Amino acid sequence: MIRQHTRRSGRVRLLMAAAAAPLLLGSCGVVAELPTTSMPSSFSAATSPEGRPMAVSAPAEATVSKVVMPVYWLGLNGSDVQLYREFLPSQNTGDPIGEAVLAMTTQAPADDDYFTPWSPASKVTASISSKNVITVDVSSDAFKPSLDAGMAHRAVQQLVYTATAAAANAGLTTAGYNASVVVLVDGKAGYRAFGHEDLEPALERDKTMPAPIWIISPQEGDGTETSLTVTGSAVERDEQLLWSVERIVNGRPETTALKSGEIRLEAEAGETSMFEVAIELEPGDYNVRVFHGEGENEDSKRFTVY
């Protein structure tokens, strides 16, 4: 049995600062009125070794339990910023899509490696048609941050992924239709999000946005009383897909892996596949990592064995 553990990890990657050099002005005693959160200066569009866009299919969105909801966050992966998903507790407000999008703007990810560039929205409502057209009405206060074009696209895709995932998780989608999202701002269409992204027409998922590796379980801070099973999704590449577990000592993972191994995916090159790894561990605090080759596309989670 896995349950949420209240200990937050001590690691802080300072992703926003890394992606937004103007924010560092605060350390010099100068604070920009509207600092722009930007893509890393080394950013180039994510591509496969053959130079083609690395399209990544998100894992299945539905869960067995309806007391949680899927929410997408942004995270730094090399020189790119990509999408990662967590499941948060749901209050079952009767509007599962609106609740998830609101949480995306108002809550913080459990994993300190992730972040959201949105300001808290004072109101979010949503509906869905029989052809899976989702309409999300977001209050304009959510769009206060100043983002560059690359970050603005990722923020809007964060909303699109969260809304479509929440609809699927709640069983609201109709088979045979692709899900799309119409975004209204204060009830009106035609908004230009963050000064860069036109919210018309209906938006669909950009399949290049999800990170190539996700650890789905455990989530950050989980605790388990039994042997751990790590599940996730990854893109098949020429490099080996590897995992490792390190003990956490004095708040930091040890440099030497306690256990490690290779994961073999049942997928063709460039395709996404689910994976599962069973690991026996003694009680203690640990960090699990899954990565390609020498550490590319790494995702990691901290957890406790009781």
Domains in the chain, please, with CATH? Answer: 46-198 (no CATH), 213-305 (2.60.40.10)
Instruction: Give pLDDT, residue 42.
Output: 67
Q: What is the pLDDT of residues 60-117, one digit of tens each?
A: 776 655 689 999 999 999 899 999 999 999 999 999 999 999 999 999 999 999 999 9
d(CA 196, CA 123) in angstroms, rounded, equals 22
pLDDT band at 227 (very low <50, low <70, confident <90, very high): confident
Whether omega for the bond prior to residue 89 falls within 30 degrees of 0, making it cis, is no
d(CA 187, CA 181) in angstroms, rounded, equals 14
Residue 10, pLDDT > 80, answer no
Q: What is the pLDDT of residues 142-201, one digit of tens each?
A: 999 999 999 999 999 999 999 999 999 999 999 999 999 999 999 999 999 999 999 999
Q: What stretch of H or E contains 300?
A: strand 296-305
pTM across the whole model: 0.86
Instruction: Give pLDDT, residue 35.
Output: 78
Instruction: Give pLDDT, residue 19.
Output: 42
**Which of the two residues, 274 and 34, has the higher pLDDT score?**
274
The position carrying tokens 């596949």 is 273
Residue 30, pLDDT > 70, answer no
Instruction: Give pLDDT, residue 31.
Output: 41
